[in-house]
Chain A
Amino acid sequence: GQQVMQIPQYQHVQEGEDFTTYCNSSTTLSNIQWYKQRPGGHPVFLIQLVKSGEVKKQKRLTFQFGEAKKNSSLHITATQTTDVGTYFCAGHGAGKSTFGDGTTLTVKP
């Protein structure tokens, strides 16, 4: 079945440093989404990528979808304390939806 692996599981950074989380699927995806969950909160939709090689930006966040549509990344430039939380990818393909384990980001001021 479809498996979605996300790394790293945890990332601790100093404020101002960059951060990247990677998502890899065992199967080709139709689309991939990214969500952010603050501590004690619920997942909030960030973005959806559909096209092979697609790159989208939201302020300091850059999202990429691989050419083979099996991997994706989220990069945050110059992290801020407001970026703390767990970032999940969710891969969708062949009628299935699978979330990655998430990467929990902590930012030291």
Chain B
Amino acid sequence: ETGVTQTPRHLVMGMTNKKSLKCEQHLGHNAMYWYKQSAKKPLELMFVYSLEERVENNSVPSRFSPECPNSSHLFLHLHTLQPEDSALYLCASSPLGGLYTEAFFGQGTRLTVV
């Protein structure tokens, strides 16, 4: 148990569906991240939130929409995805003042788009 919990662990969705990934951290951290991990690519940083404010958006398509309602929760809303979006989506958090430092990862959501 890392203190960062992601749900669901597995998700299969059609290209016309709308779904959301949830991340919750119980570590008192103030920075949270979404990463995409594909089979043939390195970890790709998608979004960064610091103190609930988005500080980085790495040219991610608009079909991915993040939401950070408070410092403990992070969502990734998905709509009209493509099969190439199938990947492991990882959430991570790091402490205040620790943006881009030690990151604690959740176990990920394995997403399959059919």
A→B interface (CB under 8 Å): 30-31, 33, 35, 41-45, 48, 88, 90, 92, 95, 97-102
In the complex, A88→B82 CA distance in Å?
27
Closest 7 CB pairs of A and B: A99-B43, A92-B100, A42-B105, A101-B42, A97-B100, A99-B42, A43-B105
Partner among A43, A44, A92, A95 whose Cβ is within 8 Å of the Cβ of B43: A43
In the complex, A43→B107 CA distance in Å?
8
Interface of B: prevailing SS:
loop
In the complex, A18→B114 CA distance in Å?
43
Q: Smallest CB–CB gap between A104 and chain B, Å?
A: 12
Compute the total of residue contacts between A and B using a CB distance below 8 Å: 46
Complex contact B42–A42 (CB within 8 A): no
Interface centre among B43, B44, B90, by most chain A C-beta atoms within 10 angstroms, is B43
Partner among A33, A88, A95, A102 whose Cβ is within 8 Å of the Cβ of B102: A33
Closest residue to B55 on the A side, CB-wise? A95
**Contact residues of B between 49 and 86, Cβ < 8 Å to A:** 56
Contacts of B108 in A (CB 8 A): 42
In the complex, A44→B48 CA distance in Å?
19
Q: Smallest CB–CB gap between A77 and chain B, Å?
A: 24
In the complex, A45→B101 CA distance in Å?
10
Contacts of B103 in A (CB 8 A): 33, 35, 43, 45, 90
